[in-house]
C-alpha cells in the first residue's frame, strides 16, 4: 500500500467485551502495520466500546482497495459500527453561509495557512453578500435564494451540487436556514453547526439578548451535528467567556462571535481528523 500520507485511521464502536484492543491491534500488526496512535474508551453504563487507531501503511500487506473487505469479518463478529479512512485523501467540505462573515472569514483564513487538512470545493449561500470574500480565497460561490415556496426545490439543487463536487461534510458557518430532514438524513453526522449559546439554553432567536436579560455571568458557544431536532444534535465542542455587570448587549455579541469562530474551527478540525464517534445523543471525542 503506497500513499502520499501512508496512514490509515479507524473509528469503531461496538458492545464492550474482553480483548477488543488486542484483536484490533493484532489485525494491524500481522499485516505489517505500525500503530502511530491509539485511544479507546468504554462507557461502563451503556457497556459500549469506542476506539480510534491510526497506523502507518508503509509496509502494510493489504492494498487500500481491499482494506475494508479484509476488516469486515472482524467488525461483523464485534457487531461494530466502523469506518477506515486513508491519509492520502483530504476530506471535501462545503461551507454554507448567509450574511454573517466572522465564521467564514476564520475558516477560510485557517484553511489558507494549512491548519485544516481539507479541500473546500465550494461555498453555498442564500444571499450574495459574501461572494467577494469567497473570491478573495479563490473558492466558487453559489447563491440559492430561499423562500418557503422554493425551499424544497432549492435543497434538491444544493444536494445535486454537493454530489457533483463529491462533498463529504457540510459546515454551517452561521447559515440562517433550517435544513430539512431529507437533507440532514442524507448527510447524517456530517453537517456541523455553530450555535451562539450553551445548548440547550437560549434556543432560537436573539440568544444574546436573552442572556443579557437574564444577567448571565458566562456565555458560551456550541458546535454540534445537525439532526431533525432543531439545535439538539450531538455536541462536538463548546467554550465559554465570563461576563460582568459592565458588559452591554453589544459586548456580549462581540465576545460571543469570538467564541463562535474558535468553537466552529475546533469542531471542523476534530471532524476532519476523524476524531469523533457519535453515541446516540452524545459524542466521544478523541483529542
Contacts for 102 with CB less than 8 Å, ≥ 6 apart = 174, 257, 260, 261
pLDDT, tens digit (0-9, with 9 covering 90-100), for 114-148: 999 899 999 999 999 999 999 999 999 999 999 98
Q: Are the beta carbons of 52 and 275 closer than 8 angstroms?
A: yes
Contacts for 87 with CB less than 8 Å, ≥ 6 apart = 3, 4, 5, 6, 7, 8, 9
Evaluate whether residue 114 is within a structural domain.
yes
φ, ψ (nearest 5 deg) of residue 106 = -65, -45
Evaluate whether residue 40 is within a structural domain.
yes
End-to-end CA distance of the chain: 27
Are residues 11 and 119 both part of a single domain? no
Q: Averaged over 165-169, what is the pLDDT? A: 98
Q: How many domains does the chain have?
A: 2
Are residues 141 and 272 both part of a single domain? yes
- Under the phi-then-psi rule, with left for phi > 0, alpha for psi from -120 to 50, and beta for the rest, what region is 95? beta
Are residues 172 and 240 both part of a single domain? yes
CB atoms near residue 68 (< 10 Å): 13
Q: Averaged over 182-201, what is the pLDDT? A: 85
Are residues 193 and 260 both part of a single domain? yes
Evaluate whether residue 2 is within a structural domain.
no
pLDDT, tens digit (0-9, with 9 covering 90-100), for 204-254: 667 777 777 888 888 889 999 999 877 789 999 999 999 999 999 899 889
Are residues 250 and 187 both part of a single domain? yes
Evaluate whether residue 128 is within a structural domain.
yes
Tell me the residue range of the domain where 262 lies. 91-285
Are residues 79 and 208 both part of a single domain? no
Are residues 16 and 130 both part of a single domain? no
Beta-bridged to residue 179, according to DSSP, are none
pTM score: 0.91
Q: Rounded to an integer, what distance in angstroms lies between the CA atom of residue 167 and that of residue 90?
A: 11
pLDDT, tens digit (0-9, with 9 covering 90-100), for 50-59: 999 999 999 9
Q: What is the CATH number of the domain that holds 53?
A: 3.30.70.260
Q: Rounded to an integer, what distance in angstroms lies between the CA atom of residue 266 and that of residue 277?
A: 15
Evaluate whether residue 1 is within a structural domain.
no
Provide the annotated active-site residues.
231
Amino acid at each position: 500500500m503506497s500513499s502520499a500520507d501512508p496512514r490509515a485511521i479507524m473509528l469503531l464502536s461496538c458492545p464492550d467485551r474482553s480483548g477488543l484492543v488486542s484483536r484490533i491491534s493484532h489485525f494491524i500488526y500481522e499485516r505489517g502495520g505500525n500503530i502511530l496512535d491509539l485511544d479507546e474508551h468504554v462507557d461502563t453504563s451503556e457497556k459500549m466500546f469506542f476506539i480510534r487507531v491510526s497506523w502507518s501503511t508503509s509496509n502494510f500487506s493489504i492494498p487500500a482497495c481491499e482494506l475494508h473487505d479484509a476488516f469486515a469479518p472482524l467488525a461483523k463478529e464485534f457487531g461494530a459500527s466502523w469506518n477506515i479512512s486513508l491519509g492520502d485523501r483530504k476530506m471535501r467540505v462545503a461551507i454554507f453561509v448567509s450574511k454573517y462573515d466572522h465564521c467564514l472569514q476564520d475558516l477560510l483564513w485557517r484553511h489558507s495557512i494549512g491548519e485544516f487538512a481539507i479541500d473546500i470545493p465550494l461555498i453555498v449561500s442564500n444571499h450574495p453578500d459574501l461572494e467577494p470574500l469567497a473570491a478573495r480565497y479563490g473558492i466558487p460561490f453559489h447563491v440559492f435564494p430561499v423562500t418557503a415556496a422554493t425551499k424544497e426545490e432549492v435543497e434538491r439543487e444544493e444536494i445535486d451540487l454537493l454530489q457533483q463536487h463529491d462533498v463529504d461534510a457540510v459546515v454551517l458557518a452561521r447559515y440562517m436556514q433550517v435544513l430539512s430532514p431529507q437533507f440532514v438524513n442524507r448527510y447524517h453526522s456530517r453537517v456541523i453547526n455553530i450555535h451562539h449559546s450553551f445548548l440547550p439554553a437560549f434556543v432560537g432567536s436573539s440568544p444574546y439578548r436573552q442572556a443579557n436579560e437574564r444577567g448571565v455571568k458566562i456565555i458560551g458557544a456550541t458546535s454540534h451535528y445537525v439532526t431533525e431536532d432543531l439545535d439538539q444534535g450531538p455536541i462536538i465542542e463548546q467554550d465559554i467567556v465570563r461576563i460582568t455587570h459592565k458588559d452591554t448587549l453589544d459586548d456580549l455579541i462581540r465576545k460571543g462571535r469570538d467564541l463562535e469562530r474558535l468553537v466552529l474551527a475546533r469542531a471542523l478540525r476534530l471532524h476532519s481528523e476523524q476524531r469523533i464517534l457519535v453515541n446516540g445523543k452524545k459524542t466521544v471525542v478523541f483529542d
